[in-house]
């Protein structure tokens, strides 16, 4: 015995067989409808579950467990181990995971984690920043690639063995160099236009004089003259740098004193605090005293100067004598014992 609902007359008629509903757009039920299955299209609600192709929900779906592949899920994030090798729950491969090696950054992104966090991290071993894209890490934030230490650049489980694959690294505002507060360890070759470290040598310039020079200009008369060919020019990279001047002057005379000064441009630098009784002209950086008919000496002068400029700066040597002839790069009154003189300047980082 069954009940038939006629869609045209909306009458219920008893018949033999199951209940058949035709041409009915909707059924309004006030009480409870009980059935072993409810079906509509390809969806089937039954006693052991709900079979369907898609669920479109604008609210929250709560369940004791979620099964299957949720790799395309959106609107959330996870710090999981990676992707299971199998989606079958009973397979051991479901408990083994993998993560692709490279995380590609194709457009500009900013890592700015909450202040309560210790840092941002990823299990990807390498982060590759594509052309025309920027990876920005906010001030005070940390980014740790390869948090699981599986990238092969460190011991397994160590964490932080990952790499950043980029062509350029600048500060967050792209206006200068980044800061490495704990230093940087480099195992390969470092190429730079300038290496800067306090006390380090940034550049060196030198002039070697090989020919001879003589002068009879006296300290109390004609005064100091330029020692021709013994000058050098340097352009400091920083106005805070110091310039180390080193002079080696091979000179000779007879029963006289040779006087030597170093000048920056036309300025007598690092002058003695006292003044000779014979006058300021008798103050110098170096002397060679000859108390015999002829002798030779190598006079060495070293001065650390602070020019406070990034413009081209010339240092030169001047000389004068008390009497006779100051002879440079040659033994006085003889054709023997030729030598050379030099002036070297080094920029020292402050």
Would you write out the chain's pLDDT as a tens digit for each of its 350 residues?
445 555 555 555 545 555 555 555 666 677 677 777 767 766 666 666 677 777 777 777 877 766 666 655 655 455 566 888 998 889 999 888 888 888 899 999 999 999 998 888 888 888 898 988 888 988 888 888 888 877 765 444 445 567 776 778 888 777 888 888 888 888 888 888 777 789 999 999 999 999 999 999 999 888 999 999 999 999 999 999 999 999 999 999 999 999 999 999 999 999 998 888 888 889 999 999 987 677 889 999 999 999 999 999 999 999 999 999 999 999 987 888 899 999 999 999 99
CATH number of 202-348: 2.60.120.1340
The rounded distance, in Å, linking the Cα atoms of 161 and 152 is 7
Query: What is the domain partition of the chain in residue ranges?
Result: 2-51, 79-191, 202-348
The rounded distance, in Å, linking the Cα atoms of 43 and 209 is 99
Spatial contact of 71 and 85, defined as CB atoms under 8 Å apart: no
Three-state DSSP at 282 gives helix
Which has the closest alpha carbon to 122: 102, 147, 100, 88? 147
Which has the closest alpha carbon to 209: 340, 344, 316? 340
Per-residue CA distances from 69 to 85, 88, 100 (Å): 11, 10, 17
Torsions phi, psi for 282 (to 5 deg): -85, 0
């Amino acid at each position: 015995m069954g009940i038939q609902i006629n869609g045209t007359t909306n009458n219920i008629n008893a018949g033999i067989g199951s209940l058949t509903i035709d041409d009915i757009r909707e059924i309004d039920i006030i009480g409870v409808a009980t059935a072993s299955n409810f079906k509509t299209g390809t969806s089937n609600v039954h006693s052991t579950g709900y079979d369907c192709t898609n669920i479109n929900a604008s609210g929250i779906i709560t369940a004791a467990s979620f099964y299957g592949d949720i790799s395309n899920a959106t609107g959330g994030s996870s710090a999981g181990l990676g992707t299971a090798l199998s989606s079958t729950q009973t397979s051991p491969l479901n408990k083994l995971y993998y993560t692709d090696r490279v995380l590609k950054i194709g457009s500009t992104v900013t890592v700015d984690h909450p202040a309560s966090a210790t840092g941002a991290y990823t299990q990807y071993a390498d982060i590759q920043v594509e052309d025309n894209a920027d990876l920005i890490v906010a001030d005070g934030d940390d980014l740790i690639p390869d948090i699981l230490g599986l990238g092969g650049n460190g011991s397994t489980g160590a964490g932080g063995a990952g790499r950043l694959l980029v062509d350029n690294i600048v500060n967050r505002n792209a206006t200068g160099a980044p800061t490495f507060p704990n230093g940087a360890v480099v195992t390969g070759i470092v190429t730079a236009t300038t290496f800067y470290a306090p006390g380090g040598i940034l550049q060196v310039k030198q002039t070697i004089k090989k020919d001879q020079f003589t002068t009879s200009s006296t300290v109390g008369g004609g005064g100091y003259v330029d020692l021709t060919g013994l000058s050098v020019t340097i352009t400091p990279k920083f106005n805070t740098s110091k310039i180390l001047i080193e002079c080696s002057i091979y000179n000779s005379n007879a029963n006289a004193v040779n006087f030597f000064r170093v000048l920056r441009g036309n300025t007598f630098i690092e002058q003695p605090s006292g003044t000779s009784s014979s006058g300021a002209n008798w103050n110098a950086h170096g002397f060679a005293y000859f108390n015999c008919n002829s002798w030779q000496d190598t006079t060495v002068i070293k001065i650390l100067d602070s020019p406070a400029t990034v413009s081209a700066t010339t240092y030169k040597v001047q000389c004068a004598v008390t009497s006779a002839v100051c002879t440079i790069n040659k033994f006085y009154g003889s054709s023997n014992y030729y030598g050379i003189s030099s002036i070297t300047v080094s920029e020292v980082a402050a």
